């Protein structure tokens, strides 16, 4: 009987010490992939994409439990491009849903599309740009849409025709802090 009581006590203590804390904070990452297809005769090719947080299941599944949304990171990847596509500057701008209020403006001079077909380009933002995004996201139930504009400036390629194409993916990552 003493042995059974000892085993029971050890199991109970083990469960209490190793179980989940019901007041623990939960975090999940929200990956927001955006596909861009820039086509044109140059000298600049550009595309604007509108997207909202509610386009993503992870957001919709947790919208009532979200305490905070915080910008984490972003990356660029070339999916396909005109052979030898180069640009004097690759620009990625992110705006609030009004399309006028700039959250960040990232520029990469001397862009070569093939350099980023197998290895993603990390889009490094300033602390001020991150803070602007996080301030906008602080009211995520109202401010949950964005306008992204990707532009390749003064493009050239190995094509004999002056027609250029660039297919790219931008991945934005945010962290959702959920209520227990």
pTM > 0.75: yes
**Cβ–Cβ contacts within 10 Å for residue 61, how many?**
11
The string of DSSP letters for 100-163 reads: -SEEEEEEEEEEEGGGGSSSPEE----HHHHHHHHHHHTTTTTS-EEEEEEEEES-B-S-SSS-
pLDDT at 22: 53
Residues with pLDDT less than 70, the chain: 1-23
pLDDT score of 180:
85
* pLDDT for the residue 130: 97
pLDDT for 4? 44
Q: At the topology level of CATH, where does 25-178 sit?
A: Jelly Rolls (2.60.120)
Task: Locate the domains of the chain by residue range.
Answer: 25-178
Query: For position 25, what pLDDT does the model report?
Result: 78
pLDDT at 143: 77
């Amino acid at each position: 009987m003493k042995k059974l009581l000892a085993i029971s006590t050890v199991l109970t203590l083990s469960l209490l010490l190793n179980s989940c804390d019901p007041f623990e904070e939960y975090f999940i990452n929200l990956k927001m992939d955006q596909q861009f297809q820039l086509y044109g005769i140059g000298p600049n090719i550009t595309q604007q994409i509108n997207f909202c947080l509610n386009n993503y299941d992870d957001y919709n599944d947790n919208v009532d439990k979200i305490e905070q949304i915080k910008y984490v990171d972003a990356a660029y990847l070339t999916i396909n491009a005109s052979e030898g596509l180069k640009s004097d500057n690759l620009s990625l701008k992110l705006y609030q849903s009004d399309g006028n209020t700039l959250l960040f403006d990232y520029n990469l001079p001397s862009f070569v599309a093939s350099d980023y077909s197998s290895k993603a380009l990390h889009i490094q933002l300033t602390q001020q740009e991150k803070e602007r995004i996080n301030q906008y996201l602080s009211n995520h139930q109202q401010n949950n849409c964005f306008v992204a504009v990707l532009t390749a400036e003064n493009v050239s390629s190995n094509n004999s025709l002056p027609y250029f194409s660039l297919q790219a993916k931008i991945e934005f990552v945010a962290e959702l802090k959920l209520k227990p």
